[in-house]
Amino acid sequence: MTQPLIKVANLTRIFDVSKPWLNRIIEREQKQYLRAVDDVSFEINKGETLALVGESGSGKSTIAKMLVGLLSPSKGAVLFDDQPMRMDTSDEMQELRKRFQMIFQSPYASLNPRWKVMDIIAEPMTVLGIEEDQNQIAKRVDELLVLVGLSAADGAKFPHEFSGGQRQRIAIARALSANPEFIVCDEPTSALDVSVQAQILNLMRDLQDELGLTYLFISHDLSVVRHMANRIGVLYLGALVEVAESKALFKDPRHPYTRMLLDAVPDLEMAGREHKEIEGEIPNPINPPSGCTFHPRCPFANERCKNEVPKPVQTQTGFAACHGVEEGRI
Amino acid sequence: MTNPLLSVKDLVIEFPTRFGPLTAVDTINFDLAPGEILGVVGESGAGKSLTGSAIMGLLDPPGRIASGEIWLKGERIDNLPNEAQRAIRGRRISMVFQDPLTSLNPLYTIAEQLIETIRTHLKVSESEARKRAIGLLDDVGIPAAERRIDDYPHQFSGGMRQRVVIALALAAEPELVIADEPTTALDVSVQAQIIDVLKEQCSERGASVILITHDMGVIAETANRVAVMYSGRIAEIGPVKDIIQNAMHPYTVGLMGSIPTLAQEEDRLVQIPGSMPRLNDIPQGCAFNPRCDRAFEKCRIDRPDLIDQGTRQVACWLYDETVLAKGKIA
């Protein structure tokens, strides 16, 4: 068994979404809280890709931000190689920060338009104090550009001279420049066209094999996730409802929400197939349903599901949080 | 073949610039039968949306139809004066846009917007229009339509808003609905519902649909025929099943391979090198030739037109009889 690189324990994040103080007084309203992430625990082993899938509002990006210390958890902790992740700038944190990086969704927003590509890629090295020598930095930037499939001469250009796919390659080069072990990828291809998406996904897999990277891959697209991940976690309203190995999840999904998601994905192989009717939409996370939050949309829901929050039940390759699975009726 | 509802003949859309006109849509031809669903698929910049806007008469200046004709039921509609086009727009051809939040007016209730649309196109009384509006909302699956009709757009969720937009598009019983990326802004579980509603309501009313999307999966499950666009031209057009199971144009082959699917378990995705050319830099000959692994001399010089291949048409020299006769292709 490989050692887990990341341990996430009972991670919870609550946002205060109250109206301003004066409005609350006049309208006699209570403070309102949104549980964006609710008691999420998982581990990521060295060299593996864990994917988190979920629809909008399921807490994917909030988890990603807490994992790299861009957001502090309300409860719970993130352990990176057994060291707790914090948001301060202590020496230990700076040392820890060299070991992980993040790739963002939109390569249009994540690259500074006024910086040259070589400066963008060099920034993590200088900020984290990894390399001081300018010649060494320039050499490393050239290497990185070639590694992600661009040419060394591209370093002198500005981001606007590149297409979306090329920009995402630059973002990947930047993430790699500090030699991280772990990269959080938050919807890295959802702003790209399919043929470009394929290039980026292949590149990310090649880099993983070459450099032994560990990925947390966040996406709303199940077919992309299937292609990238070893294990998959399914999020619904901030909670992990099912975790399983990739193959097992697609072959034998246990949680009713996972089944529904799989059934909803339009797929090439399924031309002319009839969809099962899907009920309802994601409820408002400020006022989530009682018990199992999925029960209003679940075809298997009963009295217990309405009242009692389900606990994770062991499955073959992971767990599912469902009363139906526990009772053996699903 | 029955008389087509819509014929697009040699349509060219240009944008004049200081450096000469840019041709965004270049000589495209297709017919649409009554009641048919035609999918138009392609990557960003392929000219899908422009084609839709041109049919609708909604091209934004300075973009303009440089040449070609658009015929609706034997009547030419692209050169009509503004007034006459307005009478067609919404009444005989209507449109569903990508983002339901921007296509509804936030300051008016759903009732006001629906009734306005109905009364603009049909001679009915206010109360009759309201009755129709409630019926429409009912048809597109909005629960408690009678009560919800007086709500404002912000009181609806994304999926519900898109249902309202579909109701608006269907309000005047149009013969053709152009849906431009109708589900791109929605989550998968909601996307499936919206596609079902669109398909079902249009077929009930006998309306044809042009479904513009970048998602081949959506087209596979919805459309009868599909047109694959690349760089302003149609690369391949034909029945959905034929094209998905046996793509002929090298671009379509690459596009299909680059889509990660739920069913298969390939390790690497097929990738098409490079990206689509910019409008000011479209290569001579076939626009796809620099990215095509089967390109030969002729592809770099002459531009292929659509060639009949059984049930479909393909714009590729590989299928040209004289080329085949010479046996030039390995």
Which residues of B fall within a CB distance of 8 Å from A281?
157-160, 187, 189-190
Contacts for A305-308: CB closer than 8 Å, 24+ residues apart:
none
Type of residue at A259: R
Class of domain B6-326: alpha beta
Give the tens place of pLDDT for each residue, A218-239: 998 888 888 899 999 999 999 9
Which residues of A fall within a CB distance of 8 Å from B257?
198
Residue A289: asked if its preceding bond is cis (omega within 30°), the reply is no
Give the tens place of pLDDT for each residue, B77-86: 988 888 898 8
Give the tens place of pLDDT for each residue, B198-253: 998 888 999 999 999 988 888 988 899 999 999 999 999 999 999 988 999 999 99
Residue count of chain A = 330
Compare A91 and B267 and report the one with higher pLDDT. Answer: A91
Q: How far is CA B1 from CA A318, B4, B32, B211, in A?
A: 55, 8, 11, 21
Of A220, A263, A268, the CB nearest to B217: A268
Residue A285: asked if its preceding bond is cis (omega within 30°), the reply is no
H or E stretch covering A234: strand A231-236
Are the C-beta atoms of B184 and B98 separated by less than 8 Å? yes
Residues of chain A with pLDDT under 70: 1-2, 269-278
Type of residue at B208: S
- Which among A218, A238, A236, A237 is positioned nearest to A228, based on CA atoms? A218
Position B330 confidence tier, pLDDT thresholds 50, 70, 90: very low
Strand-pairing partners, residue B234, are B229
Are the C-beta atoms of A113 and A159 separated by less than 8 Å? yes
Give the tens place of pLDDT for each residue, B277-301: 888 888 899 999 999 988 888 899 9
- Establish if B105 touches chain A: CB-CB under 8 angstroms: no
Which of B162, B221, B251, B279 is most worth mutating to test chain A (most A CB atoms within 10 A of its CB)?
A: B221
Q: In this complex, do A196 and B275 lie within 8 Å of one another by their Cβ atoms?
A: yes
Is A225 strand, coil or helix?
helix
CA dist B36 and B209 (Å) reads 6
Which letter does DSSP use for residue B236 in this model?
E
Strand-pairing partners, residue A15, are A34
Helices (H), ranges, chain B: 48-56, 82-88, 100-103, 110-121, 126-139, 145-148, 158-170, 188-205, 216-222, 240-245, 250-258, 297-301, 321-326
Within 10 angstroms of residue B135's Cβ, the number of other Cβ atoms is 11
**CA-based nearest distance A165→chain B, Å:** 8
pLDDT of residue A239: 92
Residues 153-182, chain B, touching A (beta carbon < 8 A): 157-160
H or E stretch covering A103: strand A100-103
Within 10 angstroms of residue A73's Cβ, the number of other Cβ atoms is 24
Q: In this complex, do A281 and B258 lie within 8 Å of one another by their Cβ atoms?
A: no
CA dist A96 and B194 (Å) reads 46
Strands A182-186 and A100-103 turn out to be parallel
Is A109 strand, coil or helix?
coil
Phi, psi at A201, each rounded to 5°: -65, -45
Is A314 strand, coil or helix?
strand
Q: In this complex, do B255 and A227 lie within 8 Å of one another by their Cβ atoms?
A: no
Surface-to-core class of residue B258, CB atoms within 10 Å of its CB (0-12 exposed, 13-18 middle, 19+ buried): buried
Average pLDDT, chain B: 89
Give the tens place of pLDDT for each residue, B158-203: 888 999 999 999 998 899 999 999 988 888 888 888 888 899 888 8
Phi, psi at B89, each rounded to 5°: -65, 125
Domain layout of chain B by residue ranges:
6-326
Strand-pairing partners, residue A322, are none
CA angle B90, B92, B97 (to 5 degrees): 45
Q: How many CB pairs below 8 Å do chains A and B form together?
A: 128
DSSP string across A37-76: EEEEEEEEETT-EEEEE--TTSSHHHHHHHHTTSS--SEE
Q: Is the pLDDT of residue B329 over 60?
A: no
Give the tens place of pLDDT for each residue, B82-123: 889 888 988 899 999 888 878 899 999 999 999 999 999 989
Q: Is the dihedral of CA A105, A108, A113, A116 positive or negative?
A: positive
| Cα distance from N-terminal residue to C-terminal residue, chain A | 31
- Taking CA–CA distances from A205, the nearest residue in chain B reads B268
Strands B176-180 and B93-96 turn out to be parallel
Q: In this complex, do B269 and A269 lie within 8 Å of one another by their Cβ atoms?
A: no
Strands B93-96 and A231-236 turn out to be unpaired
pLDDT of residue B238: 94
- Establish if B272 touches chain A: CB-CB under 8 angstroms: yes
Are the C-beta atoms of A171 and A112 separated by less than 8 Å? no
